[in-house]
Each structure stands twice: as C-alpha cells, then as structure tokens.
A and B are shown apart, each in its own frame.
Chain A
Amino acid sequence: MRKVFTMVVAVGFSGAALAADIGLVKVSRGSVEIQRDGARMPAGVGAGLRNADVIVTGADSSAGITFTDNSLVSIGPNSVFAIDKYRFDTTTHVGEFEGNLRQGRLAAASGKMVRQAPESMKIRTPSAIMGVRGTDFVVQVDEPAAAPAAKY
C-alpha cells in the first residue's frame, strides 16, 4: 500500500470540483469560456460545469468535458454550446441531458443515462433536434453566413 501511496503523490491534482458540478472541463485549448448568470469566465482544465452554462470557444480552440453520467462532449473552434438541462441520478441512472449547439462543431459519446433510457440525451441545433440511442456522434451547425436566411 505504501507503494501505491507514493504513486499517487506523482499524480497531479489541481483545481477543486464541487459536488454540485454536473461535469468537468478536461481539455481546454485556446480561448474557452463559460457564460454563467450573465458573466463570462475562462474555462481552464478543472473548471466545473453547472446547469444552464454556455461554453464558448474562439478560433483554433476546443474544449473536452466529462459529465457525471460518463457522457463525453467536446466542442470545436468558434462554437457555442448551451447546457439547457442536465440531471442524473447515480442510483437509478435516470437522467436528462438537453444540449444546444447554437454554432460550430460538437463530438460526443453517450453515457449511463442513455443506457438506462434511450433518447434521454438530446442535442438541439437551430434547425433540428436529435435523440441519442447509445453511440458516438458528431454535429455541425453551418456558419450563419453560409445560410441565405441571414438576409431576412
């Protein structure tokens, strides 16, 4: 056991996670920010996420997040991803994950709540809504400039 203890000291633990967090930022490259309650804060590795947070990335930037139900989500460059709703019960595995990709790119792998109930994880875009039945996937929302709708 002493050997195990020595190994642990070498593991870098920094930043504090709060029990209220629904997820943790594990990858943060370039400019990554969290919008919460009207304020913007930088989202470095170790930043905790809450319900209703919006993650915003700049050019050449990306972010990777692990959620409490083991779902994984990453956001690509120039992206805006809002966590409209998230809850997960670690005993029953009942949960709800509604994400909203307003702009940019997203990659994800579904977690335990989807294994318990297919389509409990949903991703919205400006033009569609998608339910996940246990898989890895990617989503892209085209640049607003590419849509003729921008004129109207």
Chain B
Amino acid sequence: MRSIAALAATTLLVTGCAAPPKAPLAAPSLFIVLPSPDGHVGQIVVRGTGGDPRVIDKAYGTQRVLGDGSLQAGQMTEAQVGEAFGSTLAALPGKPATFTLYFLEGRDELTAESRTELEKVFGELRRRPLPDILVTGHTDTVGGLAYNDRLSLARAERLREMLVTLGIPADRIQAAGRGKREPLVATDDNVPEPRNRRVEISVR
C-alpha cells in the first residue's frame, strides 16, 4: 500500500517537473474489489480520463488512477485493505436478509411454515438499527404482464397490512409487485406453479 502510494507520488512529481500539464491534475484515486461475505467476487470496470477501461475481477485486486488519468494495476491483501479502510468497512450496513412467505391457496392467510418464517422476520428486525422493510410480491406465469403486476402488488400490500397490524410502523414498509418477472422455479409461460406465488420480505 505504502509502496504503491509512493510510486504514484513519484510518478506525479516526475510528470509535474518535466512539463506542467495544461489542465490541473485531479486527485489520484484507488479502486479495490472485495469478496462478499458469502465469498462471491464480482467485477468493477475503471475508466481514467484517458485510455482503455480496466476490469478488476479478483479479490483485493486494485486499480490506482493517477492524477493524469492513467491507471496502474495492483494487488493488495485482506490485511492491507482492513488497515486502510477499517472504519469505513465497519460502518457498512449488514446485507439485507430475505424471507419467503406463502399464502394458503385461495385464502387470505399464511401457511403454517410461513407463520414460523414471519417470526424469524421479527428476530431479524431486532438485530438491526432502525430496520426498514421491502415487501415484494411474485406470481406464477399464468396471465399477462400487467395482470400479474397488479396481482403481485396486491399480495405484497396484503402482507404489508399484516405487518402493520403486528406493530411495524407503516412508513417503514414499502410494498412492491414484481409480477411474473422473477419466478423462483423456472417454468414456461402460462404454467400454474404454487411455489412461484409468493411474497419476499427484505429486511435492511
């Protein structure tokens, strides 16, 4: 970390002495990809003011962008990132927790398993500072897009009402309908599938 920073500073000084740039140099920046708590490593794409985009796709892989817009690839360790970003990482809120609930077929009542799941939701709410909730309804693929959007929103709003009745302030719960866009079980269009007729509660 220190050596990367020193190298960056040296490069800048050399550039600065050789020929003053036409435009003021921007503050250098550093980008680092981290593994998620579940181990997943995704990608980011960094573009400086000049040159090609660079992809970081490894855990603790870095791109340092110098003041002139050029990029330097690098690699850090978990310990180095912890040292540099400790208090910042400590302030990152926990990943949202998701719970999936089902209504009894054709009824306005949750299944027995879902009532147990609902108790877990309240456990999660107590673990978080100032929790808020997103309730998202889903349908199976029977019917058109607009019909299922309405149906899924109605399901989410019904569950939202239940949560409000159980004591959660209404302004802390948002209801949304995702229609048939995100089936839990992949099916062809117009296939009845009870496992897809569900409501997801996201606690964050």
Contacts and interface: CB of A to CB of B under 8 A. Distances in A.
A39 interface: no
Given A13-B168, A127-B29, A135 B91 contact: no
Nearest to A102: B27
Given A7-B126, A64-B93, A107-B89, A130 B46 contact: yes
Given A64-B92, A74-B93, A138-B85, A149 B130 contact: no
Contact of B87 (A62, A135, A143, A149): A62
Contact of A137 (B34, B65, B71, B204): B34
Contacts of B123: 7
B80 to A, nearest CB: 11
Q: Interface size bucket, A side?
A: 35 or more
A74 B27 contact: no
A76 B88 contact: yes
Contacts of A4: 118-119, 122, 166
B92 A125 contact: no
Contacts of B87: 29, 60, 62, 76-77
Q: Interface size bucket, B side?
A: 35 or more
Interface string B11-29: 0110010001100111111
A52 interface: no
Contact of A152 (B25, B65, B95): B25
Leading 5 A-B pairs by shortest Cβ distance? A135-B42, A149-B25, A76-B88, A90-B176, A62-B91
Interface of B: 5, 9, 12-13, 16, 20-21, 24-36, 40-49, 65-67, 69, 71, 81, 84-85, 87-93, 95-96, 115, 118-119, 122-123, 125-126, 128-132, 134, 136, 149, 153, 166-169, 171-172, 174, 176-179, 181, 202, 204
Interface of A: 1, 3-5, 7-19, 24, 26-27, 29, 45-46, 60, 62-66, 68, 70, 72-77, 90-93, 101, 103, 105-110, 119, 125-144, 146-149, 152
